[in-house]
Amino acid sequence: MKITKTSIPEVLVFEPTVHGDSRGYFMETFRLADFAEAGDALNFVQDNQSKSSQGTLRGLHYQLNFPQGKLVRVLSGEVFDVAVDIRENSPTFGQWVGELLSAANHKQLWVPPGFAHGFYVTSEFAELSYKCTQYYHPEDDHSLLWNDPVIAIQWPLISGSPLLSDKDQNAKTLQQAAIFENL
């Protein structure tokens, strides 16, 4: 498995070795030793899967008291997947990393605890699967505004406005976010 650090070193791209022939292909999608080698000790406790139509933007979601690390991969279609550093004393606080993940390229993005996560569907539809290091806690669920000018994510929008949930339409900017409530 090829492991690549991004511009935020804790966010990693995993590219599995794909063994293919006329019947199809085989690949390992997770190997604990690869993560240990990259410096992360993990304990995944929950797997999630979602399906979204083209133009859907989900995120930027995070939990403060129960931060989740997420290993994200696409089962079908293609997404632009984003991690935003919201760790209070981090030298990369407020910076983001984006990666095109698809069923064709088999890439996976490691979004560490302490990051907000979101994705935008660029194909007709996309199915994502992601492993989490912490359980989902609805009372601790927060959302950053997808188009916050301070974060300035360069989303590859297909049309003017993405399809958003009510929660994501009413998300807060980084300056308004829950991470500042205790400062």
Beta-sheet strand order (sheet of 96-102):
96-102, 78-85, 115-121, 57-63, 141-143
61 is catalytic: yes
- Is residue 130 part of the annotated active site? The answer reads yes
H or E element that contains 35: helix 32-37
CA pair distance 178, 16, nearest whole angstrom: 36
**Catalytic one among 106, 117, 130, 137?**
130
Query: What stretches of 9-69 adopt beta strand conformation (E)?
Result: 12-15, 19-21, 24-26, 46-53, 57-63
**Residue 121, Cβ neighbours under 10 Å: how many?**
26
- Annotated catalytic residue: which of 61, 62, 117, 120? 61
Q: How far, in Å, CA of 18 to CA of 156, rounded? A: 27
- The sign of the torsion formed by the CA atoms of 179, 140, 147, 98 equals positive
Question: Could you give the residue numbers annotated as active site?
Answer: 61, 130
